[in-house]
Amino acid sequence: MHELSIMGSILNIVLEHAEKHGARKVKAVNLMIGDLSDIIPEWAQMYFDMLTKETIADGAKLEIERVPLTVECRDCGEVRTYTDKNWSFTCQKCQSSNLELKSGREMTVTSIEIE
Interacting residues toward Zn ion by CB under 5 A: 73, 75-76, 78, 91, 93-94, 96
Parallel, antiparallel, or unpaired for β 61-67 and 26-34? parallel
Q: How far is the CB of 103 from Zn ion (least distance, A)?
A: 18
The answer to whether 14 and 109 are in contact (CB under 8 A) is yes
Identify which of residues 3 and 78 has a Cβ nearer to Zn ion in the complex: 78
Identify which of residues 76 and 101 has a Cβ nearer to Zn ion in the complex: 76
Q: How far is the CB of 96 from Zn ion (least distance, A)?
A: 5
Q: How far is the CB of 90 from Zn ion (least distance, A)?
A: 9
Identify which of residues 63 and 78 has a Cβ nearer to Zn ion in the complex: 78
Exposure string of 58-72, with b = 16+ CB inside 10 Å and e = fewer, is eebebeeeebebbbb
Q: How far is the CB of 102 from Zn ion (least distance, A)?
A: 14
Largest CA distance in the chain: 55
Identify which of residues 9 and 95 has a Cβ nearer to Zn ion in the complex: 95
Q: Torsion over CA of 94, 86, 43 and 6, rounded to 10 degrees?
A: -10
Q: What is the DSSP string of 2-23?
A: HHHHHHHHHHHHHHHHHHHTT-
